[in-house]
């Protein structure tokens, strides 16, 4: 289904008066409201194809109905999100879950919804039917050259699919590692992984980037070969200028200072992109901003500081993506919440008075520094974010409109109650 523009216009018309009252504070009192609104309009967050279905856990799966049955329907779902919020203008595909049968047709379908293709994701953490070698003991790190070659070839194949769709980046997340002490020679595993990545790197087109995603644990529980930002940065540095580190918010050991990691990676010019989600315990992949919104704000604070210091373009110079998947919410409602949480944190971080903060730091005024950050964090920026959406042609209240229009019921009507999206 496609969301007709008049439905959004009707909704906005009804909500306009109340919205303008809230917005007037901004336009009257805040000098830099306009540039913030423009930055919010420009900022787009890619939706991963695997977040469009209800995620499973290792204990069970409870699909909610009307889930996309094909790549075409996944694109349609992201098109719906984008029509509602005008901030989800890209989709990130996963091979082999989303192999396009006809690249040109898929590309023009996406374009009809105003979508482009973000990073392509390879998969060497599962064995596929008819696959010759197993990844049980790793892929790019494997002791057997033939297994490594199979994984390398797969990644190169993913790049080819991406080229056909106009994507310009590859995300490599490896489950490689070991479950028990003694199982793996860490150094040799690293070196083999490095060699394999080098071959993938060599196949990258000129304008492509490769993102090396790290993860502290799971599915391997003793060691992960790309286990932290240190390992990822080592790989990225050895590979060359097209290789970057990718930060997934759920991939750290408990209480890690992610904002500091972000700051240092930016300093090194090696931060490539983000997988946004939230968590309390591990790689929980919960809705962005649902557990630790202050951390999210602090991360954006460092992102803006570091990107501005390098003259980077917020909207285009890093890969912004959600990576979430869970089993109790409507996936589309959840994604609307996640995108909004990201925009709120971004807007709040844009409000930080940076020169005052530097002054407070130089004066060792710890209290002042904290006040400056929390002043921004405690500001209600929802009217600004809504205004950015409205100006871009989206809905003032995307979630409310999604419910009013009974979109899920319509999708169930079209697709059926018992559909399962391919993915995690």
Q: Are 209 and 236 in contact (CB under 8 A)?
A: no
118 binds Zn ion (CB under 5 A): no
Are 386 and 396 a contacting pair, CB within 8 Å?
Answer: yes
Q: Rule CB under 6 A: say whether 326 interacts with ligand AOS.
A: no
Task: Name residues whose C-beta falls within 8 Å of residue 74's C-beta, 6 or more positions apart in sequence.
Answer: 49, 52, 68, 91, 98, 421
Q: Which of 76, 77, 176, 323 binds Zn ion (CB under 5 A)?
A: 323
Task: Rank residues 213 and 387 by Cβ distance to ligand AOS and give the closer one.
Answer: 213
Residues 234-263 that bind ligand AOS (CB under 6 A): 248
Beta bridge pairs of residue 278: 286
Shortest Å distance, C-beta 148 to ligand AOS? 19
Q: Does 74 sit near Zn ion (CB under 5 A)?
A: no
Site for ligand AOS in 79-98 (CB under 6 A): 94
User: Which residues sit opposite 116 in a β-bridge?
Assistant: 90
State the binding partner of 121 from Zn ion, ligand AOS, none, CB within 5 to 8 A by kind. Answer: ligand AOS
Tell whether residue 124 is a contact of ligand AOS (CB under 6 A): no
Choosing from 73, 77, 176, 283, the residue that interacts with ligand AOS (CB under 6 A) is 283
248 CB contacts (<8 Å, ≥6 apart)?
173, 213, 214, 215, 274, 275, 277, 283, 323
Distance CA 367, CA 360 (A): 8
Q: How many helices (H) and strands (E) does the chain have?
A: 15, 11
Q: Which does 176 bind (CB under 5 to 8 A by kind): Zn ion, ligand AOS, none?
A: none
Residues 227 and 214: beta-carbon distance below 8 Å: yes
Report how far residue 339's alpha carbon sits from residue 240's, in angstroms, rounded to the nearest whole number: 32
Binding residue for ligand AOS (CB under 6 A) from 173, 190, 229, 235?
173
Cis, bond preceding 219 (omega within 30 deg of 0):
yes
Please say which residue, 122 or 150, places its beta carbon nearer to ligand AOS. 122
- Residue 213 as a binder of ligand AOS (CB under 6 A): the answer is yes
Binding positions for Zn ion, rule: CB under 5 A: 248, 250, 275, 277, 283, 285, 323
Binding positions for ligand AOS, rule: CB under 6 A: 50, 94, 121, 173, 213, 215, 248, 275, 283, 323, 424
């Amino acid at each position: 289904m496609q969301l007709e523009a008049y439905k959004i216009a009707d909704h906005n018309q009804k909500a306009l008066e109340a919205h303008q009252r809230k917005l007037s504070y901004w336009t009257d009192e805040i000098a830099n409201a306009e540039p913030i609104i423009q930055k919010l309009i420009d900022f787009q967050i890619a939706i991963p194809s695997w977040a469009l279905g209800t995620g499973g856990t290792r204990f069970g799966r409870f699909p909610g109905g009307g889930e996309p049955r094909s790549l075409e329907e996944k694109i349609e779902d992201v098109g719906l999100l984008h029509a509602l919020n005008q901030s989800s203008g890209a989709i990130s595909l996963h091979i082999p879950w989303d192999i396009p049968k006809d690249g040109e047709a898929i590309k023009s379908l996406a374009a009809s919804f105003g979508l482009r293709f973000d990073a392509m994701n390879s998969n060497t953490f599962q064995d596929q039917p008819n696959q010759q070698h197993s990844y049980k003991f790793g892929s790019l790190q494997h002791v057997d050259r033939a297994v490594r070659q199979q994984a390398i070839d797969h990644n190169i194949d993913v790049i080819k699919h991406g080229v056909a769709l106009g994507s310009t980046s590859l995300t490599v997340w490896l489950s490689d590692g070991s479950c028990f002490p003694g199982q793996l020679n860490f150094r040799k595993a690293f070196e083999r992984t490095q060699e394999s990545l080098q071959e993938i790197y060599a196949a990258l087109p000129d304008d492509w980037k490769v993102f090396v995603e790290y993860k502290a644990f799971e599915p391997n529980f003793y060691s992960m070969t790309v286990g932290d930002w240190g390992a990822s940065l080592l790989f990225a540095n050895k590979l060359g200028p097209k290789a970057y580190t990718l930060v997934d918010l759920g991939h750290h050991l408990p209480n890690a200072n992610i904002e500091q990691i972000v700051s240092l990676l930016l300093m090194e010019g090696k931060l490539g992109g983000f997988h946004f989600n939230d968590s309390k315990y591990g790689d929980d992949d919960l809705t962005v901003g649902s557990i630790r919104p202050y951390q999210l704000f602090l991360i954006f604070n460092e992102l803006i500081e570091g990107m501005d210091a390098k003259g980077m373009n917020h909207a285009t110079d890093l890969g912004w993506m959600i990576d979430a998947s869970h089993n109790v919410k409507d996936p589309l409602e959840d994604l609307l919440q996640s995108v909004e949480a990201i925009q709120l944190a971004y807007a709040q971080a844009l409000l930080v008075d940076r020169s005052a903060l530097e002054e407070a730091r130089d004066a060792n005024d710890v209290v002042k520094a904290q006040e400056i950050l929390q002043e921004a964090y405690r500001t209600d920026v929802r009217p600004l974010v809504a205004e950015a959406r409205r100006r871009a042609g989206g809905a003032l209240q995307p979630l409310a409109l999604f419910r009013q229009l009974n979109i899920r019921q319509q999708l169930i009507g079209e697709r059926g109650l018992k559909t399962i999206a391919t993915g995690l």
